Amino acid sequence: MKTLKRLTALLLVVVMVFSLAACGSKESGGNDSAQTSGPDDSQNVKIGVLVSDVTSAEALAFRAYYEEYIQEQYNVTFMYSDELADAAAEASAIDNFIANNCKAIISFASADRPAQIEQCEQNGVYYAVATGTLTEEQYEQYKGYEHYVGAIGPDLYTEYMAGYNMAKYYLDQGYTKFGMFGGATPYYTEMHIYRAAGMLVAMCEAGNGTYMGANDMGSMIGAIYGAGCQLEPAVIGDVELVGYVAGYDFDDAWFGKLAAVANDPSVEVLLAVGSGQTAFAGFKQANQKLGDIDCYTADSVALMESGTLDYLAGKFSASIGPVFIAVLSAVQGHPIRTEEGNAFAISQGYWVATSAEQAKEYFEVDSSKTEPAYTRAMLDTLYGASYSDLEAFVQKYSFEEIKELAK
């Protein structure tokens, strides 16, 4: 027993000594490489990637683009976090990346973005947001941080329009009875709230009605938050939201509710703010239409070919290419800043497919490991570029525009 106690005491002393070393250490951030002609491939750059989702098709497609294309093309190594459930997990993952000498972090996780930015700034590690943006308030607070590179992704207006355009697509065809899947709306996820708001406003406009007293973007967002993000079926003038399900419970009750909405004979169109293929595809009736906002995968193409899915607003995996090159550029001493010297915030939209042929064409490009939508040659033009060049490049996000850029 004495030996055991001595060993334990010895271990404690060792831990304390290293803790002292940890407390006294100084971080060295940034880098000293400066090459304006193009990315410096002579030294490997480690980049941490924060993810809150490791299993969805979208998350896997993004990861494949970074690990199977970008990592093969550039002298970089991506370190992925585990699935991050909360702010503490995000902080731990950032600590892990810093300990492993990552020079930059690209974040797909949003439990506490301000804390992520603060932690990276404090430790001299570059930080960028992929496939998302900060709120205006947050941007104003952090835009001047030296190590905050910026954000590229659909802003909230783009999310709103994605929902609006999808609902309008069906309303224009004369459909009036809808079932809706609200995804993470009850969890206060802004992206899904704005998409849902867009769908509801489109219904209000087509039906000459209101939903919870609201009929435009501002009032609808306010009404949704006012209702605690809990939506209900309602008659909206000449249009009707017949059924509504939200959340990601994945239990029998949840699947039962989805089936009930899809099995309602009056429902003509099923709309989903996300994950519609998971939620509704299994229950959808042959005469119903299904629209979803998600990403391009072999499964979604197959669903479009079978007629199960007929509208898909999808992110493309290479959409995270520009944020990568901006991060690499910053790490190698050529940060891309706005004219005022701030971090950038650039909105990027979706590819919309309304036919199987379109979806197939998009997917072939999107899943390519040799010629993806954004190739190295295209991304290299952004290395050390001006803000206006980066903005112009990112904002040409439609499939046709990107094909033009590739030429």
Residues that bind other proteins (CB under 8 A): 1, 3-4, 7-8, 11, 14-16, 18-19, 21-25, 27, 54, 79, 82-83, 85-92, 95-96, 98-101, 111-112, 114-115, 118, 187-189, 228
In whole angstroms, how close is the CB of 16 to other proteins at the nearest point?
8
In whole angstroms, how close is the CB of 198 to other proteins at the nearest point?
20
State the pairing for strand pair 239-245/269-272.
Answer: unpaired
In sequence order, which residues have a C-beta less than 8 Å from that of residue 344 and are 6 or more positions away?
A: 149, 150, 151, 152, 326, 336, 337, 338, 387, 390, 391
Phi/psi of residue 75, nearest 5 degrees: -85, 65
> For residues 219 and 160, is the Cβ–Cβ distance under 8 A?
no
86 vs 371 by CB, closer to other proteins: 86
In whole angstroms, how close is the CB of 134 to other proteins at the nearest point?
15
- For residue 129, give the nearest of 116, 118, 119 by alpha carbon: 116
220 vs 267 by CB, closer to other proteins: 220
The count of other CB atoms within 10 Å of the CB of residue 308 is: 18
Which tokens hold the place of 218? Answer: 């501002």
23 vs 377 by CB, closer to other proteins: 23
93 vs 326 by CB, closer to other proteins: 93
In whole angstroms, how close is the CB of 96 to other proteins at the nearest point?
5
DSSP 229: T
CA angle, 57 as apex, 313 and 326 as ends, to 5°?
Answer: 75
In whole angstroms, how close is the CB of 269 to other proteins at the nearest point?
29
Alpha-carbon distance of 405 to 352, in angstroms, equals: 18
Alpha-carbon distance of 326 to 383, in angstroms, equals: 7
In whole angstroms, how close is the CB of 240 to other proteins at the nearest point?
28
1 vs 286 by CB, closer to other proteins: 1
80 vs 383 by CB, closer to other proteins: 80
- For residue 150, give the nearest of 166, 173, 132 by alpha carbon: 132
In sequence order, which residues have a C-beta less than 8 Å from that of residue 3 and are 6 or more positions away?
A: none
Q: Which spans in 235-289 are helix H?
A: 252-263, 276-279
114 vs 333 by CB, closer to other proteins: 114
Query: What are the angstrom distances between the C-alpha of 51 and each of 47, 75, 129, 332?
Result: 13, 22, 11, 24
In whole angstroms, how close is the CB of 105 to other proteins at the nearest point?
14
30 vs 114 by CB, closer to other proteins: 114
21 vs 377 by CB, closer to other proteins: 21
In whole angstroms, how close is the CB of 184 to other proteins at the nearest point?
9
In whole angstroms, how close is the CB of 138 to other proteins at the nearest point?
13
Phi/psi of residue 200, nearest 5 degrees: -65, -40
